[in-house]
Structure 1
Amino acid sequence: MDYCLGPGDGTAAMFSGRPDFDLDGNGEFDSVRIDFDGDGVFDDALADLDGDGLADHAALDLDDDGTAESLYTDDGSGTWAMTSIGPVGPLRWFSLDGAEHTGEGPADVDGDGSPDRLFDVDRDGVADRALRTTDGTAGVGWVDTDGDGRWDVKLIDTDGDGSADDATALD
């Protein structure tokens, strides 16, 4: 598995590691244990859960049963975003009808009955990106551009290449 790390000054280096830990609990090694957060303890892990050979999940401060205190995913943009657990607790999020939701469990931003992935890029405890996870046809995402917790833009990937082909402002 390959992963890229840098000190935050714009430089970075690629590393390779042999998976030695089972982060998703399926019985197969999918992650590399490291000291990602610099606390001197090898209780963090970088994982490749989509099987493409590149780290796409970072789990920090794993306890003895493998539960992470904080979990981040690369949403495809190369940016680590907090997922539904973290130091601020479960993410708050809004559905498209404006209803606020809190707590753990699946998020369904658009009310279609399928779970959506939430991301908290600015780490304020409110989801500011959401991606449809089980559509099968076109990729759909929502973005909160002004930080108020409500979705401002709907993104659509019509050709399945992972890049938005259309954007619609939401009222």
Structure 2
Amino acid sequence: MGTVEYCLGDGFGAAAMSTGEPTLDVDGDGVLDAIGLDFDGDGRLDDALADLDGDGFADHAVLDLDDDGHGEARFTDDGSGTWAVSVDRGAQLRWFGLDGAESVGGPLVDFDGDGQVDDRLLDGDHNGLADRALAAEDAYVDADGDGRWDVKLSDADGDGAADAGAKL
């Protein structure tokens, strides 16, 4: 495996891209797939960022990795570049559809009901309940964390920026 690219913030709003050579095997397959870091400030390089899908970008974070490759907590990137989905929960989020029905799944689901599992759920506050849903050109936001979608943003021209917003 080649290098692993990752982005980390400094806690003050700035972030930097970095690259490292894998020195750890966190999935136990005998292939070095992770780099050791100290996320929790304990002075030990016992935390890791791993590229388990082999695309060259870190997609799993492991805290307090032991010699057997087990960690105290594991997280996966939800697709937004944040470690929002706890693997300990089976990488599943609770979420509510537009009809109010509760479901468990994700981070990819069929949120908009088009029969395609291509909509992405995000959990920005890491409480296990989706607070953003990205569905085609629309994004839904649960601004107050009550499980109901409060705002719908639309990108009609496909440039990646919202063109319209509506309170739900």
Shorter-chain TM-score bucket reads 0.5 to 0.7
Identify which range, 150-159 or 6-15, moves more after superposition.
6-15
Q: Tell me, which stretches of 5 or more residues in structure 1 are unaligned?
A: 24-28, 133-137
Whether the aligned pair in 2 keeps the contact of 1:131 and 1:142 (CA below 8 Å) is yes
For 1:151 and 1:56, the matched residues in 2 are separated by 30
2:156 is matched with which residue? 158
Corresponding residue SS for 2:7: strand
1:26 is matched with which residue? none
- One-letter amino acid of the structure 1 residue matched with residue 74 of structure 2: E
* Percent identity for Structure 1 against Structure 2: 44
Q: Does 1:45 align with 2:49?
A: yes
- Show CA shifts across 1:53-104 (max 9, x none): 8x57443248859xx82113352xxx62513745697311001111011356
2:8 is matched with which residue? 5
For 2:138 and 2:122, the matched residues in 1 are separated by 14
Quick one: structure 1 residues 15 and 105, their matched pair in 2 at CA, closer, same or farther if it must change by over 3 Å?
A: closer
Whether the aligned pair in 1 keeps the contact of 2:48 and 2:61 (CA below 8 Å) is yes
Quick one: structure 1 residues 4 and 107, their matched pair in 2 at CA, closer, same or farther if it must change by over 3 Å?
A: closer
Tell me the C-alpha RMSD between the 2 structures: 4.0
- One-letter amino acid of the structure 1 residue matched with residue 12 of structure 2: D
Q: Which runs of 4+ in 1 moved over 4 A?
A: 18-23, 46-49, 61-65, 86-89, 103-106
1:73 is matched with which residue? 78
For 1:13 and 1:42, the matched residues in 2 are separated by 21
Q: TM-score, normalised by structure 2?
A: 0.65
2:115 is matched with which residue? 113
Quick one: structure 1 residues 128 and 112, their matched pair in 2 at CA, closer, same or farther if it must change by over 3 Å?
A: same
Whether the aligned pair in 2 keeps the contact of 1:58 and 1:73 (CA below 8 Å) is no
For 1:2 and 1:150, the matched residues in 2 are separated by 36
Q: How far off its partner does 1:151 sit?
A: 1.1
Whether the aligned pair in 1 keeps the contact of 2:60 and 2:76 (CA below 8 Å) is yes
Aligned mate of 1:35, from 12, 16, 37: 37
Q: Tell me, which stretches of 5 or more residues in structure 2 are unaligned?
A: 27-31
Q: Does 1:131 align with 2:129?
A: no
Q: How far off its partner does 1:111 sit?
A: 1.8
1:94 is matched with which residue? 96
Q: TM-score, normalised by structure 1?
A: 0.64
